[in-house]
Amino acid sequence: MSKIQLYSLATPNGQKIGIALEEMGILYDPHLVNLAKGDQFKPEFVAINPNSKIPAIVDPDGPDGRPLSIFESGAILIYLAQKSKKFLPADPRLYSETLQWLFFQVGGIGPMFGQFGHFFKYAVDRCDHPYPLERYATETKRLLGVLETRLQGRSFLVGEQYTIADMAIFPWVNGLSASYKAESKLGLDEFKKVQAWAKRLIERPKTAAGMLVCKT
């Protein structure tokens, strides 16, 4: 069986795919895309992902037996889950719920948490107006509240099944403390269900290994 070729960096978006590949037991070769050095703009990478973002994969053994390039982390997660037949429920209701929470991450958590991190950690010396930080901090806490409510009485986001929705959201939640050091700013201890869920996930050996794939 040909190996998946992974082009990534251990940011939250990249970590999603590292987790999926490890948990699904799919053979892969990791290739580090160093964003600081501009690797994402090299012609050979743009040929795989025209948007010049990580992650991206190439499956040498695509659905028709020919190589298939895939970009956008949500699309990659769905493809890998369908290929491995793991972590995406077959039951139509649970399948729908999984996609809903996956898109909740892609459309909400990723952009909002990312903007919060930008203004909280990376743009401190570039923007002295409080509005952007407070706007994104407020929205980040609101989204954490949505997760907190969802996780009441649940071990995972979709019932008792670990799915690609958990894989997508976990690295972003983890990054609030691990990367941004925003525990105090966001009051992360208040979201007890979210913290317990995150602890359950990082204690999974394959999920922990996936978080380190393509780490600089």
What domains does the chain contain, in order, with CATH numbers?
A: 4-87 (3.40.30.10), 92-204 (1.20.1050.10)
Provide the pLDDT for residue 33. 98
Using an 8 Å Cβ cutoff, are 101 and 170 in contact? no
Residue 121 phi/psi, 5° resolution?
-110, -45
Provide the pLDDT for residue 124. 87
pLDDT higher than 70, residue 8: yes
In the chain, DSSP finds a helix count (H) and a strand count (E) of 10, 4
Pairing state between β 56-59 and 68-71: antiparallel
pLDDT band at 11 (very low <50, low <70, confident <90, very high): very high
Provide the pLDDT for residue 159. 81
Angstrom distances, CA of residue 171 to CA of 43, 67, 109: 29, 28, 11
Provide the pLDDT for residue 128. 86
Read off the pLDDT of residues 112-157 as tens digits, 9 standing for 90 and up: 999 999 999 999 888 889 999 999 999 999 999 999 999 999 999 9
pLDDT higher than 70, residue 1: no
Read off the pLDDT of residues 158-209 as tens digits, 9 standing for 90 and up: 989 999 999 999 999 999 999 999 999 999 999 999 999 999 999 999 999 9
pLDDT band at 106 (very low <50, low <70, confident <90, very high): very high
Rounded percentage of the chain residues whose pLDDT exceeds 70:
100
The DSSP output letter for 214 is T
